[in-house]
Amino acid sequence: MTYNFYSYKNKKIRYSVQGEGNTLVLLHGFMESIRIWEDFSEELCKIFKVLCIELPGHGKSDLIDDIQSMESTADMINELCKSIDIEKFVIIGHSMGGYVSLQFAEMFPEKIKGLGLFHSHALEDTEEAKNNRDRACEIVKTSRKVFISQFIPELFAPENVLRFENEIKELQSHVIDMSSEAIIASQQGMKLRTDKLNILIDLDVPKLFIAGKQDSRVNLQQLMAQAMLCNHADILILNIGHMGYIEARNETLASIRNFTEKCFSI
């Protein structure tokens, strides 16, 4: 995969573009990097133009703001897409990438052909979740590397932690240099995000929900209720945790491919 850089507000943002045809945009989650999509992009670029964007403060992308809001990140994505002449696309985000995707869809609905929430959801944080983010930020200030080492394994289903030990170590290596400032900026941005149920109801494009029965971050019953708000929803439920692109690679890849093809055929 060849990486490029885009300058946004004098900050560099890393991205990759592969393939030709209709465009699929893939966004990674919190404390991940663009590299999680390397395998998916190699397959999907045989059918689509695949744009992968590294979110601010992650990997080789610079942090833009002290609080990395969903609005600022969505604006950056819009400007990047304009710079490479991408106008309409399916957007799919993993975890925090899903929050950004929803925000983008609210700000630029005319550009969306389909919207995918990959282990993500449309609700704002509960008060408990907001307090947990504040506690996490305090931990990061004194024990950044410990936080990174503990955070990623907890995203997997318990029985998959040993099974994907090598993959977990690789994920950790991708973000081991992520600064405390970037971690805190993303946590605070997620804490301040707003409810996006209106997007599920009002944006008349197909929606994709990929969920794990053992996902400790996304409540499955709440997610199913959100899917019921949509006029057109594809739902994939698997007996996994939060990391479907690793825990169920073939199933989630096929789901994204089929969904994207459907969005552009309607």
- Residue 41 banded pLDDT, cuts 50, 70, 90: very high
What separation, in Å, do the N-terminal and C-terminal C-alpha atoms of the chain show? 30
Q: What is the rounded average pLDDT of the residues 158-173?
A: 96
pLDDT in tens, 55-96: 999 999 999 999 999 999 999 999 999 999 999 999 999 999
Among 24-33, 169-178, 233-242, the least confident range: 169-178
- pLDDT exceeds cutoff 90 at 202: yes
Query: How high is the pLDDT of residue 71?
Result: 98
Q: Give the mean pLDDT of the chain.
A: 97
Secondary structure letter of residue 202 according to DSSP: H
Q: What are phi and psi of 13, to 5 degrees?
A: -120, 125
CA distance 112 to 114: 6
Q: What is the rounded average pLDDT of the residues 235-248?
A: 98
Q: What is the rounded average pLDDT of the residues 164-169?
A: 97
Q: What is the rounded average pLDDT of the residues 192-208?
A: 97
Q: What is the rounded average pLDDT of the residues 169-196?
A: 95
Closest CA to 265 of 232, 236, 237: 232
| DSSP E strand boundaries for 19-58 | 23-27, 49-53
Query: How high is the pLDDT of residue 266?
Result: 86
Question: In this structure, are residues 103 and 71 in contact, taking their beta carbons and an 8 Å threshold?
Answer: yes
CA distance 19 to 2: 12
pLDDT in tens, 42-59: 999 999 999 999 999 999
- pLDDT exceeds cutoff 90 at 9: yes
- pLDDT exceeds cutoff 90 at 191: yes
Query: How high is the pLDDT of residue 79?
Result: 98
**With the CA atoms of 168, 171, 173 and 179 taken in that order, what torsion angle do they form, in degrees rounded to the nearest 10?**
-130
Query: How high is the pLDDT of residue 127?
Result: 97
**Cα-based distances in Å from 223 to 198, 218, 253:** 14, 7, 20
Query: How high is the pLDDT of residue 147?
Result: 93
Q: What is the rounded average pLDDT of the residues 125-137?
A: 96
- Residue 1 banded pLDDT, cuts 50, 70, 90: confident
Which H or E run includes 101? helix 96-107
Query: How high is the pLDDT of residue 223?
Result: 98
